[in-house]
């Protein structure tokens, strides 16, 4: 199978990640606890070490500000539902994955918040449009860093500055950018950062992280209450981080894999990984420009792009047809459909069928991508 679906989950993982998962599962997979036996203490230390590594990599304020989550969706729900209050106004965009759109929609439908969705142009959000959408009641600006449909990277430094000047909090979904685009939490004035471990950081599924900066202190509430290992006596969730946001047993094995993936990414330089993926997409962009009918969704700018690209299917075939044929006849894995981001597909005019998205990864090759374009040419030869 030629795997070109890394925007969904990166595959394969670096060998060092597989080794770390195997080693940890065989020797250290205990329930973390600061007052437990030596294996429990070692498991807790592995969590602490991962927090330190994340804090250093993303230039956070302190390791304890990193809470481990189930995935990016979990992290975004913790952030949104832990911060907004009745009567608040929230600004978001039409680029968002449902992990932002659905919690905000539910809160709006329940009458808890008012919501403004800023419309992008060719996959890019104008920072000025974000600023104009902010009102005195705006509590939160919640948006993606890189579109999971189009791969377009947003101007977060400027948006973060404007949001901070307006007195609102800035929540960034880095599901498609963590590991391939440099993120400096302080420079970009990001108050909360959410991402999964299983995409650009090359960890396993079932683990993610949420960073909560100093401006959230005293504001964010726990979305989930439960055991925290070190504090069992208080009737409510401990008020200190990260345990305020970490009710229940964490996925210690997943965190071990995430830490190994983060180390591998740091050693291989994120921008070099991004350039590799974008160079592979350039092959597809050039092919589409010379084809009959195939179009690239959004504006192509290699300097502000990550390794995800959507193609608009020509002729009578649907994206689902193309995806199924690529899978069964050519052993190529891509992602057809709406990609859990219906608002941007409405903007593009590709709703309800969506597009065909390919997303190469660190281990993809030019030959893989050429096999993809060759297959597309064969599929559509008799359709146009």
CATH fold of 15-267: 3.40.640
Per-residue pLDDT, 229: 63
Q: What is the pTM of this model?
A: 0.96
Per-residue pLDDT, 227: 77
Per-residue pLDDT, 369: 98
Q: Is the separation of the CB atoms in 6 and 360 below 8 Å? A: yes
Q: Write the DSSP assignment of 220-276 as a string of letters.
A: ---SS----SS--SSSS--SSTTGGG--S---HHHHHHHHHHHHHHHHH-HHHHHHH
**Which residues of the chain fall short of a pLDDT of 50?**
384
CA distances from 288 to 16, 33, 62, 164 (A): 36, 55, 46, 41
First-to-last C-alpha distance (Å) of the chain: 27
Instruction: State which CATH number among 3.50.30.30, 3.90.1150.10, 3.30.750.200, 1.20.1250.20 fits the domain covering 2-10+269-380.
Output: 3.90.1150.10
Q: In 3-state terms, what secondary structure has residue 23?
A: helix
Per-residue pLDDT, 384: 47
Helices H / strands E in the chain, number of each = 11, 13
Q: Is the separation of the CB atoms in 226 and 205 below 8 Å? A: no
Q: How far apart are CA 218 and CA 239, in angstroms?
A: 9
Per-residue pLDDT, 382: 63
Every domain range in the chain assigned CATH 3.90.1150.10: 2-10+269-380
Q: Is the separation of the CB atoms in 149 and 355 below 8 Å? A: yes
Q: pLDDT tens, 173-199?
A: 999 999 999 999 999 999 999 999 999
Complete edge-to-edge strand list for the sheet that includes strand 88-93: 66-69, 208-212, 192-196, 169-173, 138-144, 88-93, 113-118
Every domain range in the chain assigned CATH 3.40.640.10: 15-267
């Amino acid at each position: 199978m030629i795997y070109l679906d890394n925007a969904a989950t990166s595959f394969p993982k670096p060998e060092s990640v597989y080794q770390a998962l195997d080693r940890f599962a065989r020797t250290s997979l205990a329930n973390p606890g600061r007052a437990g036996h030596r294996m429990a203490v070692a498991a807790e230390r592995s969590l602490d070490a991962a927090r330190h590594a994340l804090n250093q990599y993303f230039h956070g304020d302190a390791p304890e500000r990193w809470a481990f989550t189930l995935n990016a969706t979990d992290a975004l729900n913790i952030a949104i539902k832990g911060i907004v209050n009745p009567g608040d106004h929230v600004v978001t965009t039409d680029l968002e994955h449902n992990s932002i759109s659905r919690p905000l929609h539910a809160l709006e439908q329940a009458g808890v918040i008012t919501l403004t969705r800023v419309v992008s142009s060719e996959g890019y959000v104008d920072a000025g449009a974000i600023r104009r959408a902010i009102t005195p009641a705006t509590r939160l600006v919640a948006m993606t860093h890189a579109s999971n449909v189009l791969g377009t990277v947003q101007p977060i430094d400027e948006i973060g500055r404007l949001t901070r000047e307006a007195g609102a909090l800035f929540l960034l979904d880095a599901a498609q950018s963590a590991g391939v685009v440099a993120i400096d939490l302080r420079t970009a004035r990001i108050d909360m950062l959410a991402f999964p471990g299983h995409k650009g950081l090359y960890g396993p599924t079932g683990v993610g992280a949420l960073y909560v900066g100093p401006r959230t202190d005293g504001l964010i509430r726990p979305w989930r209450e439960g055991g925290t290992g070190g504090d069992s006596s208080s009737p409510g969730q401990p008020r200190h981080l990260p345990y305020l946001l970490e009710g229940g047993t964490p996925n210690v094995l997943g965190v071990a894999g995430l830490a190994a993936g983060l180390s591998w990414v740091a050693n291989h330089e994120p921008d070099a990984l991004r350039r590799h993926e974008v160079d592979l997409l350039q092959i597809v962009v050039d092919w589409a420009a010379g084809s009959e009918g195939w179009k690239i969704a959004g504006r192509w700018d290699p300097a502000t792009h990550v390794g995800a690209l959507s193609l608009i299917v020509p002729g009578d075939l649907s994206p689902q047809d193309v995806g199924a044929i690529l899978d069964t006849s050519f052993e190529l894995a891509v992602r057809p459909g709406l990609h859990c981001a219906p608002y941007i597909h409405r903007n593009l005019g590709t709703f309800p069928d969506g597009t065909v998205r390919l997303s190469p990864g660190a281990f993809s090759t030019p030959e893989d991508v050429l096999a993809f374009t060759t297959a597309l040419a064969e599929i559509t030869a008799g359709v146009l």
